[in-house]
């Protein structure tokens, strides 16, 4: 399957004044296949929005390359096939919902008939059919977000960039939008989803990249990342020599005071580890587990922060 | 189609700005009040109705100029930065919209918003002038067979100079708004406001900068060059100030329509240059 997004060595520096130069995005490389729902997660200021803005041609990279649907990022013809919902979008408040959709339809040079059909169809699709003639000033945050989604669907895009699409929504609007994203994925659309709602990402995404301080620290399918079948062995007061010895059996090791946790992939390795530790440390627990994306995210961000 | 759509939303948005509405309403209110104002502030001891009309005209044009100045400055500094701050620009430029289309749409929207404001004030101003001239008389100044005829005559209701005056105000501030809009692509609104203010003041003082740049001026060559550059670069707002005969009694214009045409052309060309520069800068502007 061809790549909908391809990023190689992408770097973006900001500043240069008294505060010096800051790398908002630091030499990142990844690709998103066509038809994939791709989660792009990271803490605030990690470089998520900067990456999206480069992919849309709103910012220019300091180094590296970014291609969207086979063309350099920002290509005007490619923009006919993509769409973007920014975080907390703002639309002209004096316009009605229908006028906003009509305005964005005009940006695709649609004729009057098509604009009218699209407006009716999209307002219905996002649940605003009866609110189309109200000005946005009278809309709630959830309704504004729905209008944002509607404008992002005008061109029936092949690729959608969604930046925090469920941020600040009530549970019903949240559920509706999450379902909409999932249905877009099922229709074969490529979705690039940046979100802090890790539950949503876990529900709808095929693959996830975790970005922190401008660098991609993890990327893969959810199954790969969340280590199905992993076991956490916790030992108390193992000596330094023992930890070094056991490290080779674990995928990852973390410590918390006297406790050391070994994240072990296979049952064989669990047995080997327990055997090697026998009599040299106190066994606290052996817990088979599948991490949540939230666990993984917190773990990685804390690890990098140390 | 795209440019016009962006211009239309810009007009709709700008016309609803409270601060701009206040400038417009206050100016209109004061122009209407000037109907009675002129009778009490007459400078002539033998105040005739024609003097009153002249005062109404001067006062009205002055007020319109101040309001148009505030509108063009306040609107111009915020129009583009606000789109970035509110993130509206993201949803627009992520559509198949070329950056020049966005900029031209914004300029066009700003020029038309200013036109609507000046037109509304202009209509009120002309209506007030016509109302004031209704039944007003002025001293007769003619001779019949070499004998002066003494008496009073009806003041003409319609004076085309009122229309030319309004047009001159519009193009003067179209010029200012084009400068401010261009600067808004590179400067923050606050810095741009003061920059725009400075450009306007220097532009109004164009005869002074011209004198200081002349070969006769007793200044250091570096300073002369500085004033020369300033005189060339900064738009000459003074060209538009023939509207107030009280301030410019020396002004001799053979044909007001022709003069208006020339300065209008000057304003349009200068505004086009500003728009072109904005398009060039905005091509690589990060939003």
What string of DSSP letters covers B140-201?
--EEETTEEEPSEEEPPS--HHHHHHHHHHHHHHHHHHHHHHHHHTTS-HHHHHHHHHHHHH
Per-residue pLDDT at B47 exceeds 50: no
Q: Is A53 exposed, middle or buried (0-12, 13-18, 19+ CB in 10 A)?
A: buried
**Which residue of chain A comes nearest to B17, CA vs CA?**
A94
Q: Quote the CA–CA distance of A198 and B88 in Å, as a whole number.
A: 27
Per-residue pLDDT at B119 exceeds 90: yes
> What integer pLDDT is reported at residue B44 of this predicted model?
47
Of A186, A208, A224, which residue constitutes the final position of a domain? A224
What is the crossing angle of helices B2-15 and B99-133, to 10°?
A: 50
Residue B270 per-residue DSSP state: H
Give the residue-averaged pLDDT of B15-25. Answer: 93
Write out the H or E segment, with its range, that includes residue A26.
Answer: strand A21-33
Question: In angstroms, what separates the C-alpha of A185 from chain B's closest C-alpha?
Answer: 21
Of A177, A197, A224, which residue constitutes the final position of a domain? A224
* Best A56, A58, A75, A145 residue to mutate vs chain B (most B CBs within 10 Å): A58
Same domain, A182 and A196: yes
Measured between beta carbons, the chain A residues lying within 8 angstroms of B100 are none
Same domain, A123 and A65: yes
> What integer pLDDT is reported at residue A266 of this predicted model?
84
Same domain, A8 and A110: yes
Residue A263 lies in a domain: yes
Q: Quote the CA–CA distance of A220 and B44 in Å, as a whole number.
A: 88
* Best B95, B105, B285 residue to mutate vs chain A (most A CBs within 10 Å): B95
B96/A108 touch (CB, cutoff 8 Å), yes or no: yes
Q: Quote the CA–CA distance of B101 and B278 in Å, as a whole number.
A: 11
> What integer pLDDT is reported at residue B54 of this predicted model?
79
Q: Give the model confidence (pLDDT) of A122-154 as tens digits.
A: 999 999 999 999 999 999 988 999 999 999 999
Structural domain of A259: 229-289
A109/B1 touch (CB, cutoff 8 Å), yes or no: yes
Work out the pLDDT band at B193, boundaries 50, 70, 90: very high
Side by side, the strands of the sheet bearing A159-163 are: A82-85, A159-163, A190-194, A37-41, A207-212, A215-221
> What integer pLDDT is reported at residue B180 of this predicted model?
97
Does the interface predicted TM-score (ipTM) exceed 0.85? no
Measured between beta carbons, the chain B residues lying within 8 angstroms of A79 are 94-97
> What integer pLDDT is reported at residue B92 of this predicted model?
96
Q: Which residue has the tokens 């910012």?
A: A59
CA B227 distance to own-chain centroid: 24
Q: Quote the CA–CA distance of A144 and A205 in Å, as a whole number.
A: 24
Q: How many domains does chain A have?
A: 2
Token code pair at residue B159: 């004076």
Q: Quote the CA–CA distance of B128 and B53 in Å, as a whole number.
A: 9
Q: What is the CATH number of the domain that holds A285?
A: 3.30.70.1150
Same domain, A81 and A202: yes
Residue A296 lies in a domain: no
| Cβ pair A222, A38 in contact under 8 A | no
Same domain, A267 and A156: no
Q: Quote the CA–CA distance of B180 and B230 in Å, as a whole number.
A: 17
Residue A180 lies in a domain: yes
Same domain, A30 and A164: yes
Residue A305 lies in a domain: no
Cα-based angle B176, B196, B165 (whole degrees, multiple of 5): 30
* Best A68, A90, A162 residue to mutate vs chain B (most B CBs within 10 Å): A90
Residue predicted with more confidence, A81 or A168 = A81
Same domain, A283 and A219: no
Q: What is the CATH number of the domain that holds A135?
A: 3.40.50.300
Nearest C-alpha neighbor of A154 from the set B92, B263, B131, B7? B92
Per-residue pLDDT at A229 exceeds 70: no
Same domain, A146 and A283: no
Question: In angstroms, what separates the C-alpha of A152 from chain B's closest C-alpha?
Answer: 8
């Amino acid at each position: 399957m061809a790549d909908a997004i391809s990023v190689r060595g992408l770097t973006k520096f900001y500043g240069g004044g008294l505060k010096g130069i800051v790398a908002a995005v630091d030499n990142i490389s990844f690709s998103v296949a066509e038809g994939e729902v791709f989660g792009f997660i990271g803490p605030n200021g990690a470089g998520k929005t900067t990456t999206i803005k480069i992919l849309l041609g709103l910012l220019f990279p300091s180094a590296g390359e970014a291609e969207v649907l086979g063309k350099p990022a920002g290509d005007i013809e490619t923009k006919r096939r993509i769409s973007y919902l920014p975080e907390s979008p703002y639309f002209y408040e004096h316009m009605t919902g229908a006028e906003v959709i009509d305005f964005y339809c005009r940006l695709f040079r649609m004729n009057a008939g098509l604009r009218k059909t699209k407006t009716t169809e999209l307002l219905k699709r996002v649940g605003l059919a009866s609110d189309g003639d109200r000005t946005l000033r009278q809309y709630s945050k959830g309704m504004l977000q729905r209008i944002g989604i509607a404008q992002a669907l005008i061109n029936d895009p092949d690729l959608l960039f969604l930046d925090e699409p469920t941020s600040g929504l009530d549970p019903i609007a949240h559920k509706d939008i999450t379902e909409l994203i999932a249905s877009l994925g099922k229709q074969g659309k490529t979705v690039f989803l940046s979100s802090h709602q890790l539950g949503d990402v876990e529900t709808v995404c095929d693959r996830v990249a975790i970005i922190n301080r401008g660098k991609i620290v993890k990327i893969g399918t959810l199954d790969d990342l969340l280590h199905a079948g992993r076991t956490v062995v916790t030992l108390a007061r193992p000596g330094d020599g023992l930890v070094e010895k056991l490290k080779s059996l674990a995928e990852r090791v973390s410590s918390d005071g006297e406790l050391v946790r070994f994240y072990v992939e296979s049952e064989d390795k669990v047995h080997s580890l327990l055997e090697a530790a026998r009599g040299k440390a106190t066994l606290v627990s052996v817990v088979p587990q599948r991490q949540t994306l939230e666990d993984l995210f917190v773990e990685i961000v804390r690890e990098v922060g140390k | 189609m795209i440019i016009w759509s962006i211009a239309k939303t810009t007009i709709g948005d700008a016309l609803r700005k409270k601060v701009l509405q206040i400038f417009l309403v206050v100016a209109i209110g004061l122009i209407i009040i000037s109907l009675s104002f002129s009778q009490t502030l007459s400078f002539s001891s033998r105040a005739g109705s024609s003097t009153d009309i002249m005062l109404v005209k001067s006062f009205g044009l002055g007020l319109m100029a101040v309001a148009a100045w505030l509108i063009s400055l306040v609107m111009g500094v915020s129009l583009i930065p606000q789109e970035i701050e509110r993130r509206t620009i993201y949803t627009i430029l992520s559509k198949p919209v070329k950056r020049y289309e966005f900029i031209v749409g914004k300029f066009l929207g700003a020029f038309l918003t200013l036109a609507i404001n000046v037109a509304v004030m202009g209509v009120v101003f002309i209506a007030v002038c016509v109302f004031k001239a209704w039944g007003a008389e002025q001293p007769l100044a003619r001779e019949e067979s070499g004998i002066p005829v003494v008496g009073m005559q009806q003041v003409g209701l319609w004076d085309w100079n009122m229309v030319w005056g309004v047009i001159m105000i519009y193009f003067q501030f179209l010029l200012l708004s084009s400068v401010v809009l261009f600067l808004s692509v590179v400067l923050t609104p606050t810095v741009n406001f003061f920059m725009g203010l400075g450009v306007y003041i220097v532009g109004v003082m164009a005869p002074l900068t011209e004198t200081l740049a002349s070969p006769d001026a007793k200044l250091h060559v570096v300073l002369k060059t500085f004033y020369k550059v300033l005189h060339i670069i900064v738009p000459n707002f003074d060209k538009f100030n023939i509207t107030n005969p009280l301030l410019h009694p020396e002004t001799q214009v053979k044909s007001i329509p022709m003069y208006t045409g020339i300065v209008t052309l000057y304003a349009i060309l200068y505004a086009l240059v500003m728009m072109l520069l904005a398009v060039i800068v905005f091509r690589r502007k990060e939003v």
